Amino acid sequence: MSETKNGKVALVTGAGSGIGRACALRLAEHGYSVVLAGRRQAALDAVVGEARALGGDALAVSCDVTQADSVAALFDTIRARFGRLDVLFNNAGRNGPPVDLDELEIDVWRSVVDTNLTGVFLCTRAAFGLMKTQNPRGGRIINNGSISAHAPRPNSAAYTATKHAITGLTKSVSLDGRKYDIACGQIDIGNAETEMAERMARGVPQANGEIAVEPLMDVRHVADAVLHMASLPLSANVQFMTIMATRMPFVGRG
């Protein structure tokens, strides 16, 4: 059962599946009007159907976050439909193949950087401009960092580099947004049970060269965490949060 609409508008990128889908549905269920962005229109439309079945308000907009024109069109749609944006969850991302560094194709590196870093910048830039001029002023930007923002997995140079960069962007936006009542925080997620993490249950390479099955957690816990961050008053901010499967091999020596 949906809660009463709270009058707030949230944008979730990469909303067609996985963490993005779960978070979009949770926000819609709690009264946010949710804009779902992603490259696969059919997947977005399916999530919109789920949100409306929960009594939520949702809009699907096809967008490639790596393209400035596409992001500009997305925000034109948000302005025309809602006139404001209260929450941006920068969730869209991709990984590269797990190969030795010298075998990582330059085009793959650029694609990962374009999606995970430049895409976040483009959406953040557009949201910042809207949030600082709308009335009431301000809003919240939440970046999906990943456990890789702290420590790499084997053969993940492109992904890990972008997630470390997201931490720097989060800090800069948090600082620069203060005078405009724009809060910015980061959620670092480890082993949420999604299509992307299915390989964890089959066994993945460890730092010591072994292959090991890793525990997973229900993605609903991530959605609850994002909802908590989003729901805080702008006078409070979760700067960084790590949520992970308790027994995953992250804390310790590998």
Q: Residue 167 belongs to what H/E stretch?
A: helix 157-176
State how beta strands 33-38 and 139-144 pair. unpaired
- What contacts 13, CB < 8 A, 6 or more positions away? 20, 37, 38, 63, 65, 88, 89, 90, 91, 92, 119, 123
Please indicate whether residue 180 is annotated as part of the active site. Answer: no
Residue type, 31: G
Q: Which of 159, 165, 166, 197 is flagged as catalytic?
A: 159
Classified as helix, coil or strand, 248 is coil
Helix, strand, coil % (nearest 5) of the chain? Answer: 45, 20, 35
No. of helices (H) and no. of strands (E), the chain: 8, 9
Looking at residue 16, what DSSP letter applies? T
Q: Cis link prior to 136 (omega < 30° from 0)?
A: yes
Total Cβ atoms within 10 A of residue 164 = 16
Report residue 109 as tokens: 């590196």
Catalytic residues: 159
